Amino acid sequence: MIDSDILTAHGLLHQACTKYASRSLATVGGETMTYGEAWNRGGKLARVLSERGLEKGDFVGIMMSNRLDYFTANFACVRGGFVNVPMNDMLTRDEFSYMLADSGARGVVVGPDFTDTIEELRSDLPDLETVIAVDESPPDGQLPLDTALNEAGDVALNVSIDPGDLLRLSYTGGTTGRPKGARHTHRLIAMDMLAHVIAFEIRDGESMLISTPLPHAAGYIHLGALTQGAHLTVTPGFDPGEFLALLDDEPITWTFLVPTMIYRMLDHDAVADANVSTLDTLVYGAAPISEERLTEAIAAFGDVFIQAYGQTEMPNVGMVLPKVDHEPGADCVQSCGRPATMVDAEIAEVEHGRIESILDRGGVGELIMRSPYVMDGYHDKPEQTAETLVDGWLLTGDIARMDEEGYVYLLDRANDVIVSGGMNVYTTEVEDALERHPDLNLVAVIGVPHDDWGEAVHAVVETESDNIDSSDILAFADTHLANYKKPKSVEFRDKIPTTPYGKVDKKVLREPHWENVDRNIH
């Protein structure tokens, strides 16, 4: 009979760190930590936090860049029964303050780049009592991590964990409104870990390259990978030249990127000569890859691509487009795949937070999903929870259609649909069409105010060509889009802004157009 503890994140991770104790868990900047070392350090940090008054169920912020002691802090939460509040190192001061205050965090583990930031914020955070700094000489009142671990000696804390205990409060990375904290339990995370292993083809002893933020999608991916004894090569951030060099120099077999990162590598001079022969799997998420760029990517990296669709509310593994479906020219390439192993999905007519009906295949409506790893609600936000979790379904807010074979095609975010002259324009459809232009690297489409149509379609583009202007793009749109879907204006940018989670930040793109306009459309 399986011990119920195995059905928790704590149980799965304890088993992995015992089984693979001598294996290298992660390497960052040339320094390596084994599974056994990471589990032990986490247990000792948990004891230190407990001795300073934190109790099981208290919230602990993790505020640092990708580094080895992220794993120490993460395992401290797992072993101590604390709730991990992961915060991307690219967040602003106000965003850090909001998440720490909203969660009521009593403790925080900060990297060396954020010791001054947390000191500036402390007066506004009455619940915050303990600050552990990954720094030898932090400001007064912050306890250096090494000092804390020495204080603990050889005694680790290991509390009893129930499947329903909360483990992680992950704030949504949406581009409108305040982030909401999605509540993830030990049972949920355990099921999500196994879902990652299945859907993302993570094998025993995988050699993984992680360049995306550990507080975001990579934080869930790596937990699943640990059950397979994987080794993680972690970089502080993404640089296309460095990434290609690591693929060339290290026996990397698996990695995760967002499409914009793939495009940066394809446009890099080093891609033609990079040796990527050991790479078996490249998982990408946040958006599909355009057909033209997919053809380039397969030529450069091989048949290694898996697309994943998920949300913070149901981490990473909702729809999956496997390697076999990444065939340029196939219709399904522009889908986000079919429901993963433990996922049910439908397209529904949703009105005012109610599911009115489930639509037939081919119908356009809101994508709804359910699985064993859907959040149990938003932190202290019962109304938003009730609007998102309806009759056992997660309402994704994504407009989509599902074909006869079960492939799901995302058309837009419900709040990103442009209503122009009474017609709905799905921004992803316009983006997909324009990205076929050979001189465009990246396209983002937004609605901007227009006196006659309400909103007009506006394209923001990246290009390295000096021989293209707005008229070329508009002429290209003439042959690929219906009249009401064509951009009415084009804006050139050296770099299209992205959120800390690697998604195009349409909120930033919209702001200059809408700042003096009273509107309800976002």
Per cent of the chain over pLDDT 90 is 73
Bridge partners, 345 (sequence order): 369
Residue at which a domain ends, from 152, 185, 218: 185
Q: How many CB atoms lie within 10 A of CB 189?
A: 26
Query: Residue 177: what pLDDT?
Result: 57
pLDDT of 514 reads: 83
Q: Which residue do the tokens 């998102």 mark? A: 388
The DSSP string of 45-80 is HHHHHHHTT--TT-EEEEE--S-THHHHHHHHHHHH
For residue range 259-301, what is the model confidence (pLDDT) as tens digits? 878 988 999 999 999 999 999 999 998 666 778 888 999 999 9
The angle subtended at Cα 53 by Cα 165 and Cα 115, nearest 5°, is 95
* pLDDT value at residue 453: 74
Q: Is residue 429 part of a domain?
A: yes
In the predicted structure, residue 137 carries a pLDDT above the cut 90:
yes
Stretch 337-359: mean pLDDT = 95
pLDDT of residue 348: 97
What is the structure's pLDDT at 105?
A: 98
pLDDT-derived band at 196, boundaries 50, 70, 90: very high
- Tell the residue number behind the tokens 């760190």, with chain if given: 17
DSSP for 299-362, written as a single string: HHH-S-EEEEEEETTEEEEEEEE-GGG--TT-GGGGS--EE-TT-EEEEEEEETTEEEEEPPTT
List the single range of 170-179, 181-190, 246-255, 418-427 with lowest mean pLDDT: 170-179
Residue 120: enclosing H or E segment and its boundaries?
helix 115-121
* pLDDT at residue 522, rounded to an integer: 34
Q: What pairs with residue 384 in β-bridges?
A: none
**Above 50 in pLDDT, residue 464?**
yes
Residue 132, domain member (yes or no): yes
- Residue 91 domain-assigned? yes
- pLDDT the model gives residue 245: 96
Tokens read off for 390:
């309806």
Buried b (16+ CB within 10 A) or exposed e, 87-116: bbbbbeeebbbebbebbbbbbbbbbeebbe
In terms of Cβ atoms closer than 10 Å to its own Cβ (0-12, 13-18, 19+), residue 118 is buried
Per-residue pLDDT averaged across 207-214, rounded?
95
Q: How confident is the model at residue 316 (pLDDT cuts 50, 70, 90)?
A: very high
Highest mean pLDDT among 101-110, 432-441, 512-521: 101-110
Give the CA diameter of the chain.
Answer: 72
What pLDDT is recorded for position 462? 93
Mean pLDDT taken over the chain: 91
pLDDT the model gives residue 425: 81
The answer to whether position 50 is within a domain reads: yes
Asked if residue 318 has pLDDT above 90, the reply is: yes
pLDDT of residue 518: 47
Residue 287: per-residue pLDDT = 67
Q: Which of 185, 202, 232 is the last residue of a domain?
A: 185
- Residue 308 in any domain: the answer is no
Q: Is residue 142 part of a domain?
A: yes
Question: 């912020």: which residue's tokens?
Answer: 61
Instruction: Choose the final residue of a domain: 185, 202, 229.
Output: 185
Q: What average pLDDT score do residues 442-465 get?
A: 88
On the CB side of 200, CA atoms within 13 Å amount to 34
145's enclosing H/E stretch is helix 145-152
CATH number, residue 104: 3.40.50.12780
The percentage of residues in the chain with a pLDDT greater than 70, rounded to a whole number, is 95
pLDDT at 121: 96
For the question of whether the overall pTM of this predicted structure is more than 0.95, the answer is: no
**pLDDT value at residue 475:** 93
Give the mean pLDDT of 361-389: 96
Q: What is the pLDDT of residue 1?
A: 35
32-84, pLDDT tens digit by residue?
999 999 999 999 999 999 999 999 999 999 999 899 999 999 999 999 999 99
Least confidently predicted of 86-90, 263-267, 456-460: 86-90
Return the pLDDT at 410: 86
Considering only residues 432 and 114, tell me which one the structure prediction assigns the higher pLDDT.
114
pLDDT band at 451 (very low <50, low <70, confident <90, very high): confident
Would the pLDDT of 471 be above 80? yes
Q: What is the 3-state secondary structure (H, E, C) of 422-491?
A: CEEECHHHHHHHHCCCCCCCEEEEEEEEECCCEEEEEEEEECCCCCCCHHHHHHHHHCCCCHHHCCCEEE
Domain membership of residue 114 as a residue range: 23-185
**Count helices and strands in the chain by DSSP H and E runs:** 15, 27
Mean pLDDT of 132-161: 93
Cα radius of gyration (the chain): 23
Would you say residue 92 has pLDDT above 90?
no
Structure tokens, 521: 């459309």
How high is the pLDDT of residue 53?
97
CA distance 391 to 407: 23
Determine contact, residues 107/61, Cβ cutoff 8 Å.
Answer: yes
478 pLDDT higher than 60: yes
Are residues 134 and 464 in contact, defined by beta-carbon separation less than 8 angstroms? no
Please name the residue ranges forming H helices in 162-251: 186-199, 217-226, 240-249
Instruction: State mean pLDDT over 95-113.
Output: 96
Residue type, 309: Y
Is residue 521's pLDDT more than 80?
Answer: no
At 457, the pLDDT band (50, 70, 90 cuts) reads: very high
**Does 169 reside within a domain?**
yes
**The pLDDT of residue 273:** 92
Residue 480 within a domain: yes
Dist CA 425 CA 418 (whole Å) = 5
Q: What is the pLDDT of residue 520?
A: 35
Structural domain total, the chain: 2
The CATH number that applies at residue 442 is 3.30.300.30
